[in-house]
Amino acid sequence: MPDLRASFHSDLDDIRSSIARMGATVVELIPRVTDILLEQDLEGANYVLRADDEIDARCLDIEERSLSLLALQAPVAGDLREVASAFKIASEMERSADLCGNICKAARRIYGHDLGPKLRGTITKLSAQAAREYKEAVEAYVERDSARAAALPDIDDFLDELHRQFVQQILESHAAGTIDLQVAVQLALVARFYERLGDHAVGLGHKVCYIATGWMPESEARERYRKSQEAGADNA
């Protein structure tokens, strides 16, 4: 029996380590794809897109190992939360890597167009903020630091504001004739991809809180919904 538990904890550690590595890879991808976008590095874009298969494979591997652990070891309490969250975290990270791939696709589509320093500057800021948030989320996961994870929604507000500013700049640049419609559309998508990366970081933070405390911020929404349903029934 002790051997079985030792094996369970070793397997759980392996899953944790795989998730941390996948998350750290996404943190690295964010500034990398930004460089690709700003430097119009087509070779780099193709490299990142080809490497996406590896991320997909890692995600699948984590999900399969978590499933196996659930079926064979019947974890409880914190361990159960950890294994159950692994499914969601892995797919959240896989989706984040896809967003980085989408930025590379946009880089290919706007190849040869000059973006100008203002748009480039804001893209750099969006990227830095998204990478900072993701780094916080991954390190909060590694450290099981629910306080650090709980701060992520506030940090994300800044990214949302940058997103709004960037869309405004895109419209102004298009109106001034410095970028054409196709570039404007692609840049608006790029802005959305960075903004979504921030949302995924916040999502990861929620899972870290859940693993550490058993409570998720979504619980508040569920409570509000339950109360509104009850109030509706009373009124009826």
- Closer CB to another protein, 39 or 218, in the complex: 39
Matching residue, tokens 């993701």: 134
Task: Tell me if 36 contacts another protein by CB under 8 A.
Answer: no
| Token representation of residue 99 | 């967003």
**CB 231, min distance to another protein, A:** 45
Q: Where are the alpha helices (DSSP H) in 110-151?
A: 117-143, 146-150
- Closer CB to another protein, 12 or 75, in the complex: 12
Q: Where are the alpha helices (DSSP H) in 144-180?
A: 146-150, 152-176
**CB 152, min distance to another protein, A:** 15
57 in Cβ contact with 22 (< 8 Å)? no
Residues 140-179 that bind another protein (CB under 8 A): 142-143
Matching residue, tokens 């699948």: 60
Give the angle 225-88-222 at the CA atoms, nearest 5°.
Answer: 10
Look at residue 1 and give its three-state secondary structure.
coil
Stretch that binds another protein, among 73-81, 95-103, 137-145, 212-220 (CB under 8 A): 137-145
Task: Tell me if 129 contacts another protein by CB under 8 A.
Answer: no
Look at residue 151 and give its three-state secondary structure.
coil
- Closer CB to another protein, 21 or 226, in the complex: 21
**CB 117, min distance to another protein, A:** 4
Applying CB under 8 A, which residues contact another protein? Answer: 17, 20-21, 23-25, 27-28, 30-32, 35, 38, 116-122, 124-125, 128, 131-132, 135, 138-139, 142-143
